[in-house]
Amino acid sequence: MSLLSIENLKTHFFTKAGVVKSVDGVSFDLDRGEILGIVGESGSGKSVTGFSIMGLVDPPGRLVEGSIRFDGQDLVGMAEPVMRDLRGRRIAMIFQDPMMTLNPVLRVDTQMIEALRAHGRWSDDAARQRCRDVLGQVGIPSPEERLKSYPHQFSGGMRQRVAIAIALLHEPDLIIADEPTTALDVTIQAQILFEIQKLVAENNTAMIWVTHDLAVVAGLADRVAVMYAGRIVEMGTTEEVVNRPFHPYTSGLIGSAPSRNPRGARLTQIRGMAPLPMNLPTGCAFRPRCDRATEACIIEPDATTPESEHLVRCYHPLSGASDWGTTA
Amino acid sequence: MTVFIIRRLLQSVIVVAVMTLLVFAGVYAIGNPVEILISQDATEVERAAAIARLGLDKSLPEQYLAFLGNLLKGDLGTSFVFGEPALQLVLERFPATMELALSAMLIAVFIGVPLGLYAGLRPDSIGGRTIMTGSIFGFSLPNFWQGLMLIMFFAVILQWLPAGGRGVRGEFLGIESSFFSWDGISHLILPAINLALFKTSLVIRLTRASVRETINLDYVKFARAKGLRPRRVIGLHVLKNIMIPLVTIIGLEFGSVIAFAVVTETVFAWPGMGKLIIDSIFQLDRPVIVAYLIVIVCLFITVNLVVDILYAILDPRVRLSDQKA
């Protein structure tokens, strides 16, 4: 049985201007020790998916439909105290901006020890020892001194390491990482990616890595889900999705990544802009920006699996690698 | 830290010196106290004697220098009207004003912060909206009218509380204060509430705004993601951060409550400094005015110093020694 099984998840935001369907029918499974990359543009619903799993969707947002089964229990509609007990202990989260995730007025030890004590009794000595160990694991030198520091005394990369250490304190089964390397320097980004990968593999932790950067996911994730306008438009093993994308949007994402193109070659662009979440086009939301769109696309395509383990939501999927850059 | 405090105190001395100069010149410009103090039918000889006795026969610079000389000896001059040392007059009334201001600020903080928190956490609830609407009344009702209405309801109609005066003071550990006797407290309640209403509204609105701002920040979400109880998330992560703007405002307002409790003191016949300063201004009793202002300036300086120190305690990013205050 999968560790996490999400079925037709819909998280909508009921704003005064209208209903924003941030997540609109997302389904996927995740096994223990597996890393799933969720890729998409801003507003595609990838972060909201993460917050939905954590049960941290604030009003006006609400989970309107679907189920999130985590290790056999449905998180949707779970009583808050039960959910709170899972949070941090079995499901942890790492945020995007390390400058903002640690409370500026509290010392690192305060923020780490409270995370431990949220889920059980810890003596001062045992708690400090655990904090030191985990800080050491994530590559923070002289953890003893660092425990007594305030967040502003750390660099961005170090702060993110502290946040990761906090996420690892209880050796959770699942870590949701919401673009944790986006705000960091490339060199630091590489280090942290490497270390997270190692730590997750050691503990057999499952991870959902939310990002807009396909290149990051390519080297990290076992499987990739590409989100567009609240739906997963393509999902498969990383190799499949990156090398043989079916969906024109995925192909466009790959084409617009500088690192994948020969020097001097013009980057392909996805024309147009991501649709406003308030009024999505009917049918396939990518239709207005897609060169392969036809009349048929006015009706929402169902998810199909042209090949096993490789899902796509498109009437006109690309057939393989040769189709890269067909946006011309 | 020590350097910071010493520099602060030196700056304060300059502030006091400049202030006394301004007040001296200002009061001199307003009019001659002799006209008010000496009866119309006094003879020339009596007039001259009185002027000489008050030291008003000298030029303004001479008077000021004499004042500074006495100031260094701790003598702020003798009241023209009462014939008593000015500082003593002010300090006699100081505890009454402090009692009033302290009670008012305590009410403002202990009622304002929880209500503001509630309104900030549940902005769309009926309770939250009621609090916010109520706070509009708090700062838009005229203070004197509000005081009169309080007297009407609680003193005249319901007869629960006395209408004015300070009542009998109790004694505790050698300190005499209205806080230590029921009669004193009952006299204190109405004026304190009257003075607190505006400040409470201010604290409510500030707390609410800060909570709304803080609650959506990543570190609050992260705290929740750690599985912390709401009580800890709000009580520590949110509250400690919103204390920073709150302390500033509370500090400033505490100073202003002490300095400008005049209206409330007048309405409730509270024998504080506010009443004294108004009377002294009318009678051009310069030594009392100057003594009062020196006391107030010292108070403001102390409050601001305390606020700055609290800052450093609340916000580790603030380093007092780096600050050019």
For the segment B182-212, what is each residue's pLDDT rounded down to a tens digit?
Answer: 777 888 888 889 888 989 999 999 999 999 9
| Res B47 pLDDT > 90 | no
Distance CA A266, CA A116 (A): 51
Amino acid at A135: L
How large is the average pLDDT for residues B92-98? 86
* B2 band by pLDDT with thresholds 50, 70 and 90: confident
In the 8-state DSSP scheme, what is residue A74?
A: E
With the C-alpha atoms ordered A119, A121, A123, A125, is the resulting torsion angle positive or negative? negative
Amino acid at B52: A
Distance CA A130, CA A113 (A): 9
- Provide the 3-class DSSP secondary structure of residue A54: helix
Contact call for B222 and A95, based on CB within 8 A: yes
Nearest to B263 by CA among B243, B278, B252: B278
Please state the separation of Cα B102 from the chain's center in Å.
Answer: 8
* A326 band by pLDDT with thresholds 50, 70 and 90: very low
Query: Distance, in angstroms, between A59 CA and closest chain B CA?
Result: 11
Which range has highest mean pLDDT (A191-195, A251-255, B37-41, B226-230)?
A: B226-230
Q: What are the tens digits of pLDDT across the range B204-261?
A: 999 999 999 898 888 999 999 988 888 899 989 999 899 888 988 888 888 888 876 8
| Res A320 pLDDT > 70 | no
Distance CA A231, CA A228 (A): 5
Query: Distance, in angstroms, between B121 CA and closest chain A CA?
Result: 11
> Percent of chain A having pLDDT more than 70?
95
Q: What are the tens digits of pLDDT across the range B257-280?
A: 887 688 888 888 888 888 888 888
How large is the average pLDDT for residues A205-223? 87
pLDDT, residue A323, reads: 43
Which residues from chain B sit within 8 angstroms of residue A92, using beta carbons? 225-226
| Res B137 pLDDT > 60 | yes
Please state the separation of Cα A189 from the chain's center in Å.
Answer: 16
> Three-class SS string for chain B?
CHHHHHHHHHHHHHHHHHHHHHHHHHHHHHCCHHHHHCCCCCCHHHHHHHHHHHCCCCCHHHHHHHHHHHHHCCCCCECCCCCCEHHHHHHHHHHHHHHHHHHHHHHHHHHHHHHHHHHHHCCCCHHHHHHHHHHHHHHHCCHHHHHHHHHHHHHHHCCCCCCCCCCCCEEECCEEEHHHCHHHHHHHHHHHHHHHHHHHHHHHHHHHHHHHHHHCCHHHHHHHHCCCCHHHHHHHHHHHHHHHHHHHHHHHHHHHHHHCCHHHHHHCCCCCHHHHHHHHHHCCCHHHHHHHHHHHHHHHHHHHHHHHHHHHHHCCCCCHHHCCC
With the C-alpha atoms ordered A213, A214, A218, A222, is the resulting torsion angle positive or negative? positive
> Percent of chain A having pLDDT more than 90?
12
Kindly report the CATH number assigned to the domain that includes residue B119.
Answer: 1.10.3720.10
- Answer yes or no: is B35 within a domain: no
Cα-Cα-Cα-Cα torsion B255, B259, B260, B266, nearest 10 degrees, comes to 130
Which residues are registered as beta bridge partners of A178? A210
* A327 band by pLDDT with thresholds 50, 70 and 90: very low
Q: What are the tens digits of pLDDT across the range A221-232?
A: 889 999 988 888
How large is the average pLDDT for residues B102-111? 92
Which residues from chain B sit within 8 angstroms of residue A105, using beta carbons? 240-241, 244, 314-316
| Res B318 pLDDT > 50 | yes
Distance CA A205, CA A199 (A): 8
How large is the average pLDDT for residues A135-159? 87
pLDDT, residue B119, reads: 92
How large is the average pLDDT for residues A108-113? 90
- Answer yes or no: is B87 within a domain: no
pLDDT, residue B25, reads: 81
Q: Does A92 touch chain B (CB under 8 A)?
A: yes
Q: Average pLDDT over chain A, rounded to whole?
A: 84
Question: CA angle at residue B86 from B85 to B90, to 5 degrees?
Answer: 120
pLDDT, residue A324, reads: 42
In the 8-state DSSP scheme, what is residue A87?
A: B
Distance CA B317, CA A162 (A): 18
Between chain A and chain B, the number of residue pairs with CB atoms below 8 A apart is: 78
pLDDT, residue A243, reads: 85
Query: Distance, in angstroms, between B131 CA and closest chain A CA?
Result: 21
More confident residue, B293 or B167: B293
| Res B324 pLDDT > 50 | no
Which residues from chain B sit within 8 angstroms of residue A103, using beta carbons? 219, 223, 237, 240-241
Select the residue of B218, B228, B244 nearest A114 (Cβ to Cβ): B228
Q: Where are the alpha helices (DSSP H) in A55-121?
A: 80-86, 98-101, 108-117
Domain tally, chain B: 1
N-terminal to C-terminal alpha carbon distance within chain B: 13
| Res B33 pLDDT > 80 | no
User: Largest Cα–Cα distance of chain B, in whole Å?
Assistant: 86
More confident residue, B37 or B299: B299
Contact call for A56 and B240, based on CB within 8 A: no
- Answer yes or no: is B235 within a domain: yes
Distance CA A322, CA A87 (A): 44
How large is the average pLDDT for residues A124-147? 87
What is the complex's ipTM, to 2 decimals? 0.85
The residues, any chain, with a CB within 8 Å of residue B193's CB and separated by 6 or more, are B104, B107, B150
Phi, psi for residue A124 in degrees, rounded to 5: -55, -50
Contact call for A88 and B317, based on CB within 8 A: no
Select the residue of A89, A101, A150 nearest B219 (Cβ to Cβ): A101
pLDDT, residue B202, reads: 92
Structural domains of chain A in order of their starting residue, each with its CATH number: 32-58+76-90+170-323 (3.40.50.300)
More confident residue, A304 or A11: A11
- Answer yes or no: is B308 within a domain: no
Distance CA A173, CA A200 (A): 9
How large is the average pLDDT for residues A93-100? 86
Which residues from chain A sit within 8 angstroms of residue B222, using beta carbons? 93, 95, 101-102, 163, 166
Give the range of the structural domain holding residue B171, as residue numbers without chain letter. Answer: 94-283
Nearest to B319 by CA among A152, A155, A111, A103: A152
- CA nearest B317 in A: which residue? A152
Amino acid at B19: M
| Res A115 pLDDT > 80 | yes
The burial class, CB within 10 Å (0-12 / 13-18 / 19+), for A272 is: exposed
* A262 band by pLDDT with thresholds 50, 70 and 90: low
Select the residue of A96, A102, A107 nearest B219 (Cβ to Cβ): A102
pLDDT, residue B76, reads: 78
Nearest to A95 by CA among B224, B238, B234, B229: B224
Please state the separation of Cα A8 from the chain's center in Å.
Answer: 17
pLDDT, residue A328, reads: 33
Min mean pLDDT across A30-39, A103-112, A182-191, B196-205 is at A182-191
Q: What are the tens digits of pLDDT across the range A70-89?
A: 988 888 888 888 899 899 88
Q: Is the bond preceding residue A60 a cis peptide, omega within 30 degrees?
A: yes
* B174 band by pLDDT with thresholds 50, 70 and 90: low
Count of Cβ atoms closer than 10 Å to residue B210 Cβ: 21
More confident residue, B200 or B43: B200
